[in-house]
Amino acid sequence: MSARNPFRPTFGVSPTILAGRDSLLQSFKLGLAEGPGSPFRALLISGSRGMGKTVLLNEFEDAAASQGWITLRAYPDDSMVDNLVNSAIPEALQQLAGPQSKRMLSSVSIPGIATVTAIADPYKKDPTPTLISRLRELATHLQKHGSGILITLDELQSANVDQLHVLATAVQDLLRDDFDIALVAAGLPEGINQLLQHEGTTFIRRAERILLSPVSTPDSIGMFIDTTAEGGKQMPEEAATLAAEISKGYPYSMQLTGSLAWAQSTLDNSAKISTQQVAAVRDEVIRRMGMQVHEPSLHHVPDGELTILYAIAQLSENDGMVSTGDIANLMKVKPNALSMQRKQLLSRGLIQVPKYGYLNFTLPYMREHLLNSPQHRPMI
């Protein structure tokens, strides 16, 4: 019987081995232990699709839980605050209350404001709980145990600005009163930048920004070797180096490359993953990146923008950058005629600006995908 594949080429699922996020995790843990003054109590994680944002949020939640903290997940829709106030926080309070601690929780006194009664007492409900009052109730209770509240918010770019404002104000209010609370939000870079231009997001704007970058080559090589070993096979360093090169430090393609190479070695009845087996799946990695990542992201892109993408694909070598002037030349227009579409493509997260006047693709193998799929090619 063959061993189970330890690679996870999917989204939002924690990998067998987490590569290259040790120092971030360490800073976060220190921030929780340090106290309300730590800048790591308000974090904004941004990164392109598949860069590992959701996985990092999960890791932060685990790290918080191991320090006894409670996590509240906020969902970026129009009932975000309502869900926190009327289900997530009451559930957390109920869990904490348990049968034996019911008496302790029934009346909680908070310095500076009137006595707030917790939901454990069915007859004296706070008539109109707000996010602030609910959070204070929970934080006050947790304070006795020396722990606090972590609020996580994924897909921040889809959040409703007004809801976000209420959430941010509440967190800020508790921090000001020295409660143990932390807010970590994650999303796509351009979407976040647009969101932060709204008034009412000042607190979030001041949060510590973390831009998730590709995993370094040594960390990536280590991940291939260790993940394969966890699954009960071996991957020599040379094979791992090639796998790191193919996947370019992008977490999703790292899992994809590992998973396909593992499958190839299983087909070959081999107890190790050889350099040849890694090389053999390279084309399939590119195809699958196209199917699972690039194709869906091109669905709603209008022709005008597609034309620019094709121009970049034609002009760039491998993942190289292309000057806006050259793109305009190829399209036989003036550079400033492209500015609207350029802006749209940036906000879709499909391209980025590596340096002034230049553009390149955000994710590996977009170039190959475009050049291999003429069905998207618009008429110029």
Ligand X SMILES: Nc1ncnc2c1ncn2[C@@H]1O[C@H](COP(=O)(O)OP(=O)(O)OP(=O)(O)O)[C@@H](O)[C@H]1O
Q: Under the rule (CB under 6 A), what is the footprint of ligand X?
A: 8, 10-13, 15, 18-21, 47, 49-55, 223, 251-252, 254-255
Place of tokens 């941010």: 168
Query: Among 155, 235, 238, 244, which Cα is nearest to 195's?
Result: 155
| DSSP label of 187 | E
Q: Which is nearer to ligand X, 117 or 297 (CB)?
A: 297
Q: Which is nearer to ligand X, 59 or 284 (CB)?
A: 59
For the CB of residue 258, give the shortest distance to ligand X in the complex, in Å.
9
For the CB of residue 297, give the shortest distance to ligand X in the complex, in Å.
10
For the CB of residue 56, give the shortest distance to ligand X in the complex, in Å.
7
For the CB of residue 195, give the shortest distance to ligand X in the complex, in Å.
15
Are 329 and 293 spatial neighbours (Cβ–Cβ below 8 Å)?
A: no
Tell me which amino acid residue 132 is. I
C-alpha 169/C-alpha 202 separation (Å) is: 10
Q: Which is nearer to ligand X, 6 or 148 (CB)?
A: 6
Q: Which is nearer to Mg ion, 55 or 138 (CB)?
A: 55
Residue 184: contacted member of ligand X, Mg ion, none (CB under 5 to 8 Å, by partner type): none
For the CB of residue 182, give the shortest distance to ligand X in the complex, in Å.
19
Among 49-57, 133-141, 194-202, 283-291, which window interacts with Mg ion (CB under 5 A)? 49-57
For the CB of residue 55, give the shortest distance to Mg ion in the complex, in Å.
8
Residue 211: contacted member of Mg ion, ligand X, none (CB under 5 to 8 Å, by partner type): none
For the CB of residue 14, give the shortest distance to Mg ion in the complex, in Å.
12
C-alpha 239/C-alpha 225 separation (Å) is: 9
Query: Among 18, 6, 7, 59, which Cα is nearest to 220's?
Result: 18
Q: Left if phi > 0, otherwise alpha if psi is -120 to 50, otherwise beta: which for 43?
A: beta
Residue 76: contacted member of ligand X, Mg ion, none (CB under 5 to 8 Å, by partner type): none
Q: Which is nearer to ligand X, 57 or 118 (CB)?
A: 57
For the CB of residue 169, give the shortest distance to ligand X in the complex, in Å.
27
Q: Which is nearer to ligand X, 46 or 274 (CB)?
A: 46
Q: Which is nearer to ligand X, 12 or 354 (CB)?
A: 12
Give residues with Cβ within 8 angstroms of 43, minimum separation 6.
28, 182, 183, 184, 185, 207, 208, 210
Q: Which is nearer to ligand X, 166 or 289 (CB)?
A: 289
Residue 276: contacted member of Mg ion, ligand X, none (CB under 5 to 8 Å, by partner type): none
Give how far Cα 142 sits from Cα of 33, 136, 147, 176, 301, Å.
14, 10, 5, 17, 48
C-alpha 62/C-alpha 71 separation (Å) is: 9
Residue 377: contacted member of Mg ion, ligand X, none (CB under 5 to 8 Å, by partner type): none
Query: Among 248, 253, 375, 361, which Cα is nearest to 314's?
Result: 361
Q: In the bound complex, which residue of the shown chain has the CB atom lying closest to ligand X?
A: 52
Tokens of 250: 């992008």
Assign 213 to helix, strand or coil.
Answer: coil
Task: Work out whether 54 is an interface residue with Mg ion (CB under 5 A).
Answer: yes
Interface positions with Mg ion (CB under 5 A): 53-54
